[in-house]
Homo-oligomer: A and B are copies of this chain.
């Protein structure tokens, strides 16, 4: 009899997948660490609906054990340019982006997303949860900071059956200390197809990126700094503006 080595069982992990550049890279990282990836996308009433289609395309390209779209209508509450009829800021100075909390902040968004992901992880029997927060380029969002992630991990341990039974919950935030350029380099190495991802807060009806919101500006600068060709499909006016920078 030939000895067939047993197939190593992969551990399940929940991966938060928005459809943006960061979360696509995150999914590729989780997969490269040999987790069985269960992608979780939130349809929270965001104005940039193209994100949801991007999430599906990314999940297909990278490959997941499952992909769940969870609906919760944060428009019920409002208070953010991403869910409300408030104008998305354009052409902001990159210096200004790193100070204060932008109007695109959705109150307690990552707290809400991680909480639902923890419940989902518990039903899957997963102890690992991946989130693509990034503290460097987005220091304006309080719920992207390392101290928030560590505190959440502790709270989730106290809130769940897994925690009571001593198994805990590990929150992986592998992008938290990386610059946008480093994230793009990492994802490119892992084979992420960034043409599928969506970052713009205010795309045209045809799904072209505005090139002028904070998210577009950070993304474009990331590709420039990484010395990797930017595959983003920009609106014609935006493309000219980006070349001028």
Residues of A near any B CB (own CB < 8 A): 68, 70-74, 76-79, 101, 105-112, 114-116, 118-120, 122-123, 142-143, 145, 147-148, 151-152, 154-156, 158-161, 163-164
Residues of B within 8 A of A155 (CB): 111, 148, 151-152, 154-155
Which of B78, B107, B160 is within 8 Å of A142, CB to CB?
A: B160
Contacts of A110 in B (CB 8 A): 159
Given known A143-B159, A159-B148, A163-B142, contact A118–B111 (CB-CB < 8 A): yes
- CB pair B119–A161 under 8 Å, yes or no, is no
Q: Which 6 A-B pairs have the closest CB atoms?
A: A108-B119, A79-B123, A107-B122, A111-B159, A115-B115, A107-B119
CB of A161 within 8 A of CB of B107, answer yes
Q: Which of B73, B111, B164 contacts A115 (CB 8 A)?
A: B111
Contact B115 A112 (CB under 8 A): yes
Question: Can you report 16 residue pairs joining A to B where beta carbons are below 8 Å apart?
Answer: A72-B72, A107-B123, A107-B161, A108-B116, A108-B156, A108-B159, A111-B115, A111-B155, A112-B119, A114-B115, A115-B116, A142-B159, A143-B158, A148-B159, A151-B155, A152-B155
